[in-house]
Structure 1
Amino acid sequence: MSSLADDPAEHFLVVVNEEGRHSLWPQLTTPPSGWTPVHGPDDRAGCLAYIEEHWTDLRPLGLLSRLAEPGGPRGNARPS
């Protein structure tokens, strides 16, 4: 069984959640609650190009705001 996401002719939306995470979503379906369309409909390549250009920092926005706080965790710290 194939899905809509496997069809090269399918058009998609780029959706973003409150943490700034991006996702590709088939145009013919409703994005889940908490995800907002920001680009499309467009073909898969166009949506992926949008994501590559706009989602340049994969860290969640909540983490980025904590890193920016005075006395917050160090931005380059890695979990041990």
Structure 2
Amino acid sequence: MQEDSNYLIVVNDEEQYSIWPSFKKEVPPGWREIGFEGNKQACLARINELWVDMRPRTLREAMA
């Protein structure tokens, strides 16, 4: 993946984040777009803001 390409931020049911090349259009099963698109650096910076607790959702809920 190139640094200057556009990416989408995607999230799965466990609220784990990743990036997906925007040119591929269809995200993998189990993932959904969150509505943010940009270059790799911008996407990773946004994920850093959003994903403050790295534990999967089900683990966070079990520990609550």
Same fold (TM > 0.5): yes
Residue 64 (structure 2) pairs with residue 64 (structure 1): no
TM-score after normalising by structure 2: 0.90
Q: Distance in 2 between matches of 1:21 and 1:50?
A: 13
Which residue in 1 is equivalent to 2:44?
A: 48
Kept in 2: contact 1:13–1:47 (CA 8 A): yes
Question: Shift of the alpha carbon at 1:31?
Answer: 1.0
Deviations 1:18-75 (A, max 9, x none): 000000110011211111111432011110111000001110000000001xxxxxxx
Unaligned ranges ≥5, structure 1: 69-80
Larger Rg: 1
Report the RMSD for the aligned CA atoms in angstroms: 1.0
If asked which structure has higher relative contact order (CA below 8 Å, sep 6+), I would say: 2
Kept in 2: contact 1:39–1:50 (CA 8 A): no
Identity of aligned residues (%): 35
TM-score after normalising by structure 1: 0.73
Whichever structure has more helix as a proportion of its residues is 2
Whichever structure has more strand as a proportion of its residues is 2
Kept in 2: contact 1:40–1:47 (CA 8 A): yes
Structure 1 consecutive aligned stretches of length 4 or more whose deviation exceeds 3 Å: none
Q: Distance in 1 between matches of 2:4 and 2:14?
A: 30
